[in-house]
Amino acid sequence: MRIVKVLAALAVTDIEAARAWYEQLLGRPADDVPMAEAAEWHVTETGSIQLVQSAERAGNGLVTLSVDDVDELVAALAGRDLELAAADTESGMFRIASITDPEGNVITFAEDLRRTCLASDGSLGVSRR
């Protein structure tokens, strides 16, 4: 079996209100509305965030999205009236910023600080740790 796509589903009680909030967060309308109770944003070629109307499950989701630059993202979201604060994790391996949607789902943006490192020749390279 080969997995070809990952959908991270977040349950919400009000799909229309949630769509509006996620449009603000992601800076664009949903890429797909496969049914009246769902909306999807394709955040990578093989990964999507899916909102699903399900009152009994709403508000308990956690999603982490890997980004290149958390501080740049925080500044961009501030321009859309969404406030996040970036912080390094205790391990020092990640810089993160989290936001909670109106339903209670938590979306965390994480920058992997291990991805780039200073190579012995002084150039920036990808860490192979």
Q: What pLDDT shows up at residue 92?
A: 80
pLDDT in tens, the chain (129 residues): 999 999 899 999 999 999 999 999 999 999 999 999 999 999 999 999 999 999 999 999 999 999 989 999 999 999 999 988 888 777 888 889 999 999 999 999 999 988 755 444 544 444 433
Half-sphere exposure of 66 (CA within 13 A, CB side): 8
In angstroms, the CA 36 to CA 2 distance is 29
What would the DSSP string read from start to end of 27-89? TS--SEEEETTEEEEEEETTEEEEEEE-TTTTT--EEEEE-S-HHHHHHHHHTTT-----EE-
Classified by CATH at the fold level, domain 6-126 comes out as 2,3-Dihydroxybiphenyl 1,2-Dioxygenase; domain 1 (3.10.180)
Q: What pLDDT shows up at residue 116?
A: 57
pTM (predicted TM-score): 0.82
Q: Where are the domains of the chain?
A: 6-126
Q: What pLDDT shows up at residue 28?
A: 92
